[in-house]
Amino acid sequence: MQAIIKPRAAVGLELADKPKPKAGPGDVLVKVSKTGICGTDRHIYEWDAWSSGRIKPPLIAGHEFVGIVEEVGVAVKSVKPGDRVSGEGHIGCGSCFCCRTGQSHICAKVDILGVDISGCFAEYVVLPETNIWKVDPAICDDQACLFDPFGNAMHTVMAQPISGRQLLITGCGTIGLMAIGIARVGGADRIIAVDPAPVKRELAKTMGADEVLEKADEATVKKLTDRDGADVLLEMSGHPHAIVGGLRCVRNGGDVSLLGIPADGEVPIPLAEQIIFKGLTIHGINGRRMFDTWYHCESFLRRHPDLIEPVISMRLPYHQFEKGIKAMQEGTACKVVLNWNDEA
């Protein structure tokens, strides 16, 4: 089968011919229809500090997909050939404390599709039955292949109450933009979105932001929220200025959800002044809750297909993946969807 792989420890990804994988007794073999290129795949392409420390080439990349079940293992009960499915790319160990208490999204021994194990940038992918998600017929392939980032956005928004509250969202990449739409539909009051790029600020408005700002400025946000700051900060950028600036914009007693990952790990924060004395509640967000987040995503997408469409800026046949990564690097593309169907 054709696959997009990281062949060796160096910059780039390549098309290669790989053997079609086999489903074990508890596994599901999926014929891939569409995949999303994620920021993670871009990091793997660029072979940055994170990916070169984590990835062991050769590896098939990719973790965002939708496809049709081709074959199931003998022990599989809930899925059958022909079902249209996506899947949770974080495969928990199943036996640690977190996994056994409904928190497998933070399993310390997690295997991630396209990072630790063979991914979905291929004509076929194998996943355990427990990670398979049957897609509602009302949700089209372009949306279904993006359950993963949409779920990141959903998890971040739903980590605290947002209905009737004033939100500050820093970072309007794919996930930040999806979070704006989710918060809008979920009943948020005022939504203030922050991004330095004018294109992203325009998209933020399309997704339902009331105000867009170039940076998280304390005085402006306090004025806009008329409550001495935002009730909730959703930090999606990982940029140190956005994190610290964002915290300054949150009112006493507010909630903060942090999803964005800082490039060099450590961010100096005025802890006492901006968190302790203000009595903030901080939520670290990793992956998607299995499977609360997935059910949430399904119900939102069934009623609001428009929550994803505006962030898809490119659709390409899979063999043109490099064009998509280039556009992401240049900042001209938000989400890129690759088509793996025969006619592509």
Q: In the numeric block, which tokens belong to residue 39?
A: 């920021």
106 token code pair: 């933070």
Distance of alpha carbon 47 from alpha carbon 9, whole angstroms: 8
Instruction: Fill in the amino acid letter for 148.
Output: D
Q: Give the interface segment with Zn ion, choosing from 4-12, 75-83, 99-107, 270-278 (CB under 5 A).
A: 99-107
Do residues 258 and 269 lie in contact, with contact meaning Cβ atoms separated by under 8 Å? Answer: no
Establish whether 332 is a catalytic residue: no
CA-to-CA dists, residue 152 to 217, 219, 227, angstroms: 25, 29, 28
**Contact code string over 142-161 relative to Zn ion, x by CB under 5 A:** ------xx------------
Q: Determine if 92 is a binding residue for Zn ion (CB under 5 A).
A: yes
Q: Is residue 40 flagged as an active site residue? A: yes
- Rule CB under 5 A: say whether 122 interacts with Zn ion: no
**Residue span binding Zn ion (CB under 5 A) among the ranges 23-31, 66-74, 94-102, 180-188:** 94-102
Length of the chain: 344
Scanning the chain, the segments in alpha helix (DSSP H) are 39-46, 49-54, 97-100, 141-144, 147-158, 174-185, 198-207, 218-225, 240-248, 271, 292-303, 321-330
- Among residues 107 and 307, whose Cβ is nearest to Zn ion? 107
8 Å CB contact between 125 and 67: yes
Of 114 and 245, the one with the shorter C-beta distance to Zn ion is 114
If the CB atoms of residues 98 and 244 are measured against Zn ion, the closer one turns out to be 98
Q: Which of 4, 38, 125, 216 binds Zn ion (CB under 5 A)?
A: 38
Is the C-alpha dihedral spanning 323, 326, 327, 328 positive or negative?
A: positive
With beta carbons less than 8 A apart as the criterion, state whether 193 and 204 touch: yes
Q: Minimal distance in Å, beta carbon 89 to Zn ion?
A: 7
Q: Which stretch binds Zn ion (CB under 5 A): 53-61, 105-113, 174-182, 243-251?
A: 105-113
CA–CA distance, 65 with 33 (Å, rounded to integer): 7
Q: 142 by DSSP, 3-state: which?
A: helix
Q: Which is nearer to Zn ion, 36 or 254 (CB)?
A: 36
CB under 5 A: which stretch of 141-149, 245-253, 286-294, 331-339 binds Zn ion?
141-149
Q: In the set 79, 85, 99, 249, which binds Zn ion (CB under 5 A)?
A: 99
How many chain residues are in contact with Zn ion, going by CB under 5 A?
8
Q: How far is the CB of 230 from Zn ion (least distance, A)?
A: 27
Burial of 262 (0-12, 13-18, 19+ CB in 10 A): middle
**Pick from 237, 226, 88, 211: which is nearest to 156 by CA?**
237
User: Does residue 107 touch Zn ion according to CB under 5 A?
Assistant: yes
- Please tell me whether residue 106 binds Zn ion under the rule CB under 5 A: no
**CA-to-CA dists, residue 129 to 1, 87, 150, 166, angstroms:** 22, 9, 21, 40
> Among 52-60, 65-73, 97-105, 214-222, which window interacts with Zn ion (CB under 5 A)?
97-105
Candidates 93, 140, 282, 327: give the one binding Zn ion (CB under 5 A): 93
CB 132 within 8 A of CB 40: no
CB closer to Zn ion out of 59 and 221? 59
**C-beta of 96 vs 267, nearer to Zn ion:** 96
Which residue in 35, 43, 155, 156 is the catalytic one? 43
Smallest gap from Cβ 97 to Zn ion, in A, equals: 8
Catalytic residue among 35, 40, 130, 170: 40
Asked if residue 3 binds Zn ion (CB under 5 A), the reply is: no
Residues designated catalytic: 40, 43
Interacting residues with Zn ion (CB under 5 A): 38, 92-93, 96, 99, 107, 148-149
